[in-house]
Amino acid sequence: MTAVGITTSGVSKRLGRTQALDGVSLEFAAGGLNGLIGPDGAGKTTLMRILAGLLRPDQGSVAFSAGGRKVPFAEVRPTMAYMPQRPSLYPDLSVAEHLEFFRDLYGLAPEVYAPRAAELLSVTRLEPFRDRRASQLSGGMYKKLGLMCCLLQSPTALLLDEPTNGVDPISRREFWDLLYRLASRRVLIVISTAYMDEAERCSKVHLLDDGRVLSSGEPAALLAAEGAAGFHELFLRRADARRP
């Protein structure tokens, strides 16, 4: 699998009156979990949408690479999967129907689809709920179905916008185990989260606050440099500093 990389340089985006992103320069590389960490309203979703090509930056640019070579977005797009933060599955379709819909969208051959769907259903433990409609799934199951639809085409880049938001702790752990497995296959994974404890599970974190990058690097090194015990502390300190 060709390793995909994304580099943003000076990306700014205004949404209405809010400056959602302000000069964001980041690098995302394959083979690890890239965490986009920040409180609500930090600009995580806006950045995700820009990476997925759903929004265009007002200023700055996004560059893509495949196997170390610079490539246009159109070349990465077909194997890029994006899971939006808000509910984006069809409430009236069942788990199996979702898989079939995305199978046909991606044009997967039956011999590719059958083993992969079976594997995903067993890993996510959604097999017993094949015929359940998305509207009747629990929060965790819903997110896992969303992830399954993304993974069906075995993407080279995976953009997950707050996939564990509102999911119970056990399901969250299962979710992360799934992601580790993918990361080891050299898939580029960008995951955003407002849960600070999840930041420590990433191989690289990018801290975002108020549309700006605070810092970016390995979680342990970052915390050591800041002299903080955890990411909660880091963000709380910042919030305090901003208070008059």
Beta partners for 158? 81, 189
Q: Which of 79, 124, 164, 192 binds other proteins (CB under 8 A)?
A: 79
Number of residues engaging other proteins in binding (CB under 8 A) = 31
Does 169 interact with other proteins (rule: CB under 8 A)? no
Does 149 interact with other proteins (rule: CB under 8 A)? yes
Which residue lies nearer to other proteins by CB, 100 or 233?
A: 100
Q: Which of 41, 60, 106, 112 binds other proteins (CB under 8 A)?
A: 106
- Of the ranges 86-94, 124-132, 188-196, 210-218, which one interacts with other proteins (CB under 8 A)? 86-94
Does 64 interact with other proteins (rule: CB under 8 A)? no
CB of 152 to other proteins, least distance (A): 11
Q: Are 99 and 149 in contact (CB under 8 A)?
A: yes
What SS3 class is residue 164?
Answer: coil
Q: Are 48 and 82 in contact (CB under 8 A)?
A: yes
Q: Which of 20, 89, 137, 223 binds other proteins (CB under 8 A)?
A: 89
Can you read off the two tokens belonging to residue 150? 């993304």
CB of 233 to other proteins, least distance (A): 34
Helix (H) / strand (E) element for 4: namely strand 4-15
CB atoms within 10 A of CB 77: 13
How wide is the angle at C-alpha 69 spanned by C-alphas 201 and 48, nearest 5°? 40
Pairing of strands 59-66, 69-71: antiparallel
Binding site for other proteins (CB under 8 A): 49, 52-56, 77-82, 84, 86-93, 97, 100-107, 149
